[in-house]
Amino acid sequence: MKRPAARKDRPASVDLRDLAECVEKFPGKTIVLLGDFVADEFRYGDISRVSREAPVLILKHRETHVAPGGGANAANNLASLDAKVVPITVVGDDAAGDALFQHFLQKGISTNGIFRLKGRATPTKTRFLAGWAHTVAQQVLRCDYEPQVPLREAIRRKIQQKLSASLRKADALAISDYGFGVATPDLVRQATAKLRNSLPITLDARYRLLCYAKSGITSATPNEAELEAEHHTAIGSDRERLARVGGATLSAMKLQALLVTRGRHGSALFEPGNRLTHIPIHGSDQAVDVTGAGDTVLAAYTLALACGASSLEAAHIANIAGGLVVMKRGTATVSRQELLDAIRCEISGASS
């Protein structure tokens, strides 16, 4: 029996000046974002008292804030990194859908690919945050609202047509599949089969990563929990198990690279030839809020590849972007200037 080749762990170092030069190229790149738009709703309230009806807190509502979540957050991050974004998605004809549509309209981002559907609920994650006066509010409850019916064939055809047309002038395609039906393996397979030029095609899939095999995907960016669920295993601090399941995923999907984000453990980049690079976390390992960090990683990684970065360089850029965004509260973005400043700070530290 032929023994499997030994995995080659390699140093995580890259030339930081090359990373800075890559980020400088972000403006002007066109990225098509196909995926599920989610409304992240934050309801803030002050704790007034404990209810007499049940042992629960009564919150006096103070304010409500709606931010782009899911694929919308990835698109928002791409825009903050100064890319030209072409979002392709479906939202409901409801208050949450209107908030998302207006957000991108006001930012000057094309809304031609954001289809509004009557009778369909926009996926919404409502978080209730409670606090006392002069204290930081803490999340005490989350309630999710999800569409209950699948997309009709007519709207799928419109998505397909818009996607095929948009890819002709794109520098990369990013797919954000949160399981609400906008992005599907078949849809991506049909669109990529018609491509004449080789484009970076990146994927962040919450539930069905391996179903995208043979879909033209070049890179995927799952977090460790998603990888564990896909292989029905637990990784934890077991690097050998991480190497096995990561390598198996890379091989099964025939990817050019697989970037696995691991929270406080940083990230791991798998490449053909049994190459595995462990990248330590950027900044503090005490995250303030991890909401939407995977969307930021997808955006930065895709944009770096579109600028001609290697998978390793793109992984480092995405790792830095992810480290910056988890230090912000709520669903947040990282600007291109913030990313540049962080890289230049590392350059200064390395030369001193």
Give the residue numbers marked as catalytic.
Answer: 295
| Mode of pairing for the β-strands spanning 30-35 and 172-177 | parallel
- H/E element holding 78? helix 71-80
* Distance in angstroms (rounded) separating the CA atoms of residues 219 and 222: 10
Distance of CA 312 to the CA centre of its chain: 18
* Distance in angstroms (rounded) separating the CA atoms of residues 219 and 298: 10
* Alpha-carbon distance values, 212 to 80, 205, 239 (Å): 28, 9, 25
List, in sequence order, every residue forming a beta bridge with 145; answer none if it has no partner.
Answer: 124
What's at 60, amino acid-wise? K
* Distance in angstroms (rounded) separating the CA atoms of residues 42 and 45: 10
The total number of residues shown for the chain amounts to 352
Closest CA to 60 of 49, 52, 70, 69: 49
Return phi, psi of residue 17, to 5°: -65, -35
Unique residue bearing structure tokens 């896909």 = 230
* Distance in angstroms (rounded) separating the CA atoms of residues 227 and 235: 9
Yes or no: say if 34 and 182 are a contact pair by the CB < 8 Å rule. yes
Q: What is the DSSP letter of 7?
A: P
* Distance in angstroms (rounded) separating the CA atoms of residues 164 and 184: 14
* Distance in angstroms (rounded) separating the CA atoms of residues 68 and 39: 5
CB atoms within 10 A of CB 3: 5
* Alpha-carbon distance values, 7 to 53, 224, 255, 270, 324 (Å): 59, 19, 16, 10, 30
